[in-house]
Structure 1
């Protein structure tokens, strides 16, 4: 975990984060957060792949986001407001994460301005990604969204099933199959 964090944090900050966190492994299909639960912390993904997913009472799934290695996972607004999450965070592969308890994070955050700046950069990154996704869903056709998806997440189509990709793109699996078929002819 230490070596991965050193790519994004100064050495002394890595030690601070490791001191308050706990390494946890999840199996494919496990949930880091479940809808209806109040999240008590967030995670840093060392290995594995996650998705944010809404699941309706009828079992329909809508993939809100995909999180890869070396990024953070969180139901952030639920965590900060001590409210139940509206979505699940599901491991799509076996994964290893560093879990940071929110109360311990707040102590770090309140005592060191570095963490304030780090959080701001992380929120800006997340906001930009969310804004792009919304724009793409509203303005681009399904084929263009798929091509952009493959560019943003290289080789991910070999790691997750097409149903999840279709869900992320906001299309039916049959439409994705048709797009893929047309691309190969």
Structure 2
């Protein structure tokens, strides 16, 4: 997504950070002032309701941009949590530094558009799947889209991503095995 010379420019204004498993990049309610490129590890975006129930929005793998973008853009509190599911290395970019860089070189406008398009396409697919597909099909698609992830994260997190209860996921898994 980004060539070596432009990555070097980002590294020049950014800061490499390591999040340990369970650490937060941002918490719900915080006003974000940075975004990041995920270099290694695995990240989860999730919402939490007033009863403490979590709803996984997405999983972010290396090579992707990490941000509470709308909140960063509007300088408003984030509506969700961004948490490391395993030790993760990030290149954090301060938003004000980013805006300055973006003004200097139109490459960064194109970079931003590509990142937003990728995020939008993923969001559109996820919404369609949640609205039109049954839980078993969503689970099968999860296994195809995220090979090996099932061994890295909890069944609760998978169920919350699929929009089902853990008990329903257990039934689906048993049915698929049997």
Report the TM-score, using the length of structure 1 for normalisation: 0.94
Give the one of 160, 165, 177 matched to 1:167.
160
The equivalent residue for 1:5 is: none
Give the one of 104, 109, 131 matched to 1:111.
104
CA distance in 1, matches of 2:22, 2:3: 33
CA distances 1:99-142 after superposition (whole Å, capped 9, x unpaired): 01000011111111111011101111110100000000000000
The equivalent residue for 2:68 is: 75
Say whether residues 1:136 and 2:129 are aligned partners: yes
Give the one of 149, 157, 174 matched to 1:156.
149
| Structure 1: runs of 5+ lacking an equivalent | 1-7
Q: Which moved more, 1:135-144 or 1:44-53?
A: 44-53
State the Cα distance separating 1:57 from its structure 2 match: 2.3
The equivalent residue for 1:61 is: 54
Say whether residues 1:13 and 2:28 are aligned partners: no
What SS does the corresponding residue of 1:116 show, helix, strand or coil? helix
How many residues align? The count is 178
Report the TM-score, using the length of structure 2 for normalisation: 0.98
Give the one of 30, 38, 61 matched to 1:37.
30
State the Cα distance separating 1:12 from its structure 2 match: 1.8
| Structure 2: runs of 5+ lacking an equivalent | none
The equivalent residue for 2:114 is: 121
Aligned-residue RMSD, C-alpha: 0.8
